[in-house]
Each structure stands twice: as C-alpha cells, then as structure tokens.
Homo-oligomer: A and B are copies of this chain.
Amino acid sequence: MKQTPHQEMIIVDGLQYSNWDRSIFQHLLTGGVTAVHVTITYWENTVETLQNIGKWNRLFVQHADLIMPVKTADDIRLAKRLGKVGIIFGFQNCSPIGDNIDLVEIFYDLNVRFMQLTYNNQTLLASGCYEDRDSGITRFGKVVIQEMNRVGMLIDMSHSGEKSTLQAIELSSRPITISHANPHFFEPALRNKSNTVLKALAQSGGMLGFSAYPLHLHNGSDCTLTEFCTMIAQTVELIGIDHVGIGTDLCVNHDYSVLKWMRSGRWTKETDYGEGSATNSGWPAPLTWLEDSSGFPNITQGLLDIGFNQEETAKIMGQNWLTFFEESFTPADQAELHIASPQAAYDMQNA
C-alpha cells in the first residue's frame, strides 16, 4: 500500500508531557510520530528524577513493542525502520543537578538529552520568563553551559527570560534550542519569544519548536490549523526554513493536580497560575485538530495546504530536528568519544 507523504516522513515532537500509558503511545504511532522529547522533571530533585527515569525504564520493558529509548539521531532512524516511537529524555528545569556540575554528564549517561536552564523562576543557572528582573546567566550557569556543550546535552531556553536566552545563545559554543514556544508577534504571552530572540537563535544554528499549547496560541483553544500554519510561514519568512520544527507541549490525560505541580511545585504556598489566571486556572480545552498525537497528520496537511512543498514540510515536521540532533547529541570533543565508546575510538584510530 502506498504511503502518504506524512507516513514517509520522520516526524519529531520537540516536547510533550502526557500521562504516559499504552494508549498515549498508540496515539503517537497512529499520528506517525517517530520520536518525541518527553519531560522527565519539572521540580524534582536528583533522587526523584532517578525515580522518574526508573518509571520510564519500566515503560520501555512493558511496551517494548511500541517505544524505544533514543540516545542518538541514528536511534530515531532506527525507530522509523522498526515502526516504533523513539523517546528522548529531557528536563524542563535544572533541579536534578542541584549545585553539582558532575551530574550533567551522569544524566547524559542516563540518556537525558535536553535540559532547560530555568523553568519560569530564577534558578542557580539563569532567570525564568516570569521573574520581574532577568539577571542573565549566573557563574554556575556559565560552566554548566560549557559542560552541556562538552557532553552533548541540549540547552533549552523555552521557559527562560529574554536576557538569559540571548546570553545562553552567545555563551554556548553549540547551537541551542527553544523546544516549545511561539513567536511573540503571534500571541503576546510571556512564554513566547521576541523577533530578536528568534533571529539570534536561528543565526546561531539553533532550533525553535512551535507550541500547540492553547495558552501560547492566538485565540487559545479556538486557534485554527490555518492560523497555526500561517504563524509557521511568517516565522519561516523571518528566520528561514532550517531552524523550525514542532514542539507541541501536549499534556494529555493529566488531572489538575499535575498542572498545580507544574506551576507551583513546592516553591510557593500560594497558587501560581503560570500561563493561566485565577479566572482561567485549569487545563485549557484541547485543539480540535490536535487533541492528542494522533492529530499530527493534520499539521502536515495544514503546511502543505498553506503552500509549503513536500520537502519544506518534511523539514518542519521532523527533518530539521533530526539534523539538529545529529549535531547536538554527540560529545563535542573527539577525545571524549573514548569515554563514551572506547571501541568506536579504537576503530577510528585504526581505520
């Protein structure tokens, strides 16, 4: 049977935090998603994060017919061949490393490939997007950026302040990402990004993942597929076709307690409303064209309909992420290869 253009593509979701179970993995497969960056941590400390990774390790065994872990870009190609969904680990906060730089490499060894320097608030590394003042990258932040560059862990500034984000782009020797946010010109949410940030990101070789979280969208849950795809087209005009992808921020099947944890963690006794407000505090209603991951083919169709050709659409739907991961997930220094894979280093020496 001939495959649709969508089915032929490598599809990557740049961020998702759903209430993972078999049905959600099946949505991903139905939607033709080849790989998804999943959030492991919001506020969890080191040990709690290990427990979350432990839960994922159980899921890999229980659902080995549907999902597989991703350590490298090649693993995503393998997932495509095997008809499975590749799972890429990431942190939305730097809480797992505490004040210990060595934990960057340790979590990399446990397959963590993204880490946000901040999640809304000031951290030991940088300022969050909801702080009144953005003091930029801290002393610890500067060396953590170097360490992330060294081991091959992506710096993700989705929830960071503008100054911190621009500084991270400047300080990082490798391109960084904003895995799930939209242009501020589309919807003036605090989480969305200025043209200045978007241009600096793209010029440095970084990647933006367009968010489908209603509070990041014009008209919220009523945002149409055409509006979403028009936003993508306008952004491509601004920063080019090679630096954009999808990062849905889908949060499927979570109850309110999880949203409360994401927003308030244990840092405040008050209720923090994050991107919502006191009168609009719950989960936003889902988009009709992306209730869950099975809606992914709609985005492909929307991009084709708005005038992107098939090659351009494939880039946006996953190929750009794949190329970016190829460059990002390996250790910076060939010498480091010896640590990660002595055999590969030996083969290289003797090639």
Complex interface: chain B residues within 8 A of A51 (CB)? 100, 102
Quick one: which of A50-88 are within 8 Å of B by CB? 50-51, 53-55, 57-58, 60-61, 64, 68-69, 74-75, 78-79, 81-82
Complex interface: chain B residues within 8 A of A55 (CB)? 102
Complex interface: chain B residues within 8 A of A335 (CB)? 61, 64
User: CA–CA, A269 to B42, complex, Å?
Assistant: 39
Quick one: which of A300-347 are within 8 Å of B by CB? 335-336, 338-339, 342-343, 346
The number of residues on chain A lying at the interface, defined by a beta carbon within 8 Å of a beta carbon of chain B, is: 36
Q: Is the CB of A342 within 8 A of B68?
A: yes
A339: nearest chain-B partner, CB-CB: B60
B-binding residues in A (CB < 8 A): 46-47, 50-51, 53-55, 57-58, 60-61, 64, 68-69, 74-75, 78-79, 81-82, 98, 100, 102-103, 105-106, 109-111, 335-336, 338-339, 342-343, 346
> Can you give 30 A-B contacts (C-beta < 8 A)?
A46-B46, A46-B47, A47-B47, A47-B98, A50-B102, A50-B103, A51-B100, A53-B102, A53-B106, A54-B100, A54-B102, A54-B105, A55-B102, A57-B102, A57-B105, A57-B339, A60-B339, A64-B335, A68-B338, A68-B342, A74-B343, A75-B342, A75-B343, A78-B343, A78-B346, A79-B342, A81-B346, A106-B110, A109-B109, A110-B110
